[in-house]
Copies of this chain bind each other. A is one copy, B any other.
Amino acid sequence: MSRWEDNVRKVVPYVPGEQPKCTDIIKLNTNENPYGPSPKVMEKTIELEKLRLYPDDKATLLVEAIADYHNVKPSQVFVGVGSDDVIAMAFMTFFNSDKEILFPDITYSFYDVWAELFRIPYKRIAVDDNFRIKREDYYCENGGIIFPNPNAPTGIVESLDFVEDIVKNNTDSCVIVDEAYIDFGGESALSLVDKYDNLLVVRTFSKSRSMAGIRIGYAIGCEKLIKFMNDVKFSYNSYTMNMPSIILGAESIADEEYFRSTVNKVIETREYFVEEIAKLGFTCLPSAANFVFMTHESLQAKEIFEKAKENKIYVRYFNKPRIDNYLRVTIGTKEQMDTFIEFLKSLV
């Protein structure tokens, strides 16, 4: 072995959900939106003629669109290449002490991967038997806190009071609330960012905005938090947001009507799906997201997962303690869910 290998940062990389290349499948495994982005987005591709130039390093067009939309100052908005980039930057920026950071044991599976990559000590705190986060568990010395609300892969949302309790009991730490799925249910913590200087709220264009392919995430917090993040970002890569993401992302924000109508369709389909599969003996955790976390009284989740795949229906199965008899199923179109329901009927 060459000695240069001694210096390599060795990590166990994250394994994303399968992205099959064939197009004749029903893809309910990575929480994408079944509806396309606003048609107005495509009209803007003509502006990509300017690709020879560097994009605006401050992504002003996009940042201002987001700030206007949420009624905050542009200096309170940080944008990144998907919320993964945003959260990774936040970890590097704010979780820089020797104390353990805290997050739930059942949650987005990237948190421990980032902690390992950046050598941040961490502690997973068990959710209760109903998969609920217990707020009191987070009232202790720590180097930072992160949790998604709604949580993933459970879909369970906690109240604004609940979130505020965690934030105000941890004023010496940065608390990150990952709201990737909040548009599908629940109350956002954005209303708290001007009250607590330690709260960072993270959002994404990948779910409710139907633009997973464009890779846009953002964070909103007090100006000071955002300034610290931007300093780190500009020490990493000045031009993370490419021109298509700035131009097409801003246009997506402009089409509120389309956004609301597709989000509502997903919510309606979710409620319909949950009712229908209840008749087949499935129960779902209460979901406020664009997916459900479902289990059956007698059928094994792993078996359903494999058989579904044979039938060209892709859902997500996690072979992990406590959740290995659940499936995470993205809400597709009503037609896609009907096909999946028919498949489930054939198993029961």
SS class of chain A's interface: helix, strand, loop or mixed? loop
Chain B contacts of A14 at CB under 8 A? 234-235, 238
Chain B contacts of A56 at CB under 8 A? 19, 21
Interface segment, A185-193, A204-212, A320-328, A339-347?
A: A204-212
Given A81-B242, A213-B53; A9-B96 close (CB under 8 Å): yes
Answer yes or no: A64 CB below 8 A from chain B CBs. no
Chain B contacts of A198 at CB under 8 A? 2, 4
Task: Give chain A's interface residue range (CB within 8 Å of chain B).
Answer: 35 or more
Interface segment, A34-42, A147-155, A269-277, A305-313?
A: A34-42
Chain B contacts of A212 at CB under 8 A? 51-55, 239
Given A213-B55, A242-B213, A244-B242; A232-B174 close (CB under 8 Å): no
CA distance A84 to B240 in the complex (A): 9
Answer yes or no: A6 CB below 8 A from chain B CBs. yes
Answer yes or no: A116 CB below 8 A from chain B CBs. yes
Chain B contacts of A5 at CB under 8 A? 224
Answer yes or no: A231 CB below 8 A from chain B CBs. yes
Chain B contacts of A7 at CB under 8 A? 94-97, 99, 143-144, 173-174
Answer yes or no: A107 CB below 8 A from chain B CBs. no
Given A81-B81, A239-B82; A8-B93 close (CB under 8 Å): yes
Q: List 24 A-B contacts (CB under 8 A).
A: A2-B197, A3-B172, A4-B172, A4-B174, A7-B144, A9-B96, A16-B57, A16-B234, A19-B56, A33-B52, A36-B49, A37-B52, A48-B248, A50-B213, A51-B213, A52-B213, A81-B239, A82-B237, A82-B239, A117-B232, A117-B235, A214-B243, A215-B240, A242-B244
Answer yes or no: A32 CB below 8 A from chain B CBs. yes
Q: Are A54 and B94 in contact (CB under 8 A)?
A: no
Which positions in A face B, CB cutoff 8 Å? 2-16, 19, 21, 27, 30, 32-37, 41-42, 45-46, 48-57, 81-82, 84-85, 88, 92-97, 99, 113-114, 116-117, 143-144, 171-174, 197-198, 206, 210-215, 224, 228, 230-245, 248
